[in-house]
Amino acid sequence: MVNIPKFKVPVYILMSDGAGIYCVIFARQNQRLIEILGDIRAFIPVETNDGVQLINKAHILRVVVLTKEQMMEQAALFPDVNNYYLENNSW
């Protein structure tokens, strides 16, 4: 099995029950979040400070990609993120 490196993209996810989740979504180099959200998988893995969770995409209402500044304001809510990668890629 080939190990493809993934990067953590900071997002805020609004769920259908009104819950909001600050987390990171795992993306490959140059992969867009719309590709992750639109693929055939019913669930996507995300990471919070509590660990990795699977989220049912059918219950996602909105995904907001956070800027580095927004992420830094809410830094306590996120696991470690590669800031260099975030600064040098567009989402």
E strand or H helix at 68: helix 68-73
CATH classification of the domain holding 26: 2.30.30
How many other β-carbons are positioned within 10 Å of the β-carbon of residue 48?
14
Mean pLDDT, the chain, rounded, equals 87
Provide the domain count of the chain. 1
pLDDT at 72: 80
pLDDT in tens, 58-91: 999 999 998 878 888 887 888 877 666 666 665 5
State the average pLDDT over residues 46-69.
93
Does 1 map to a domain? no
pTM, 2 dp: 0.82
- State percent of the chain over pLDDT 70: 88
Range of the structural domain that residue 12 is part of: 6-87
Residue 56 domain-assigned (yes or no): yes
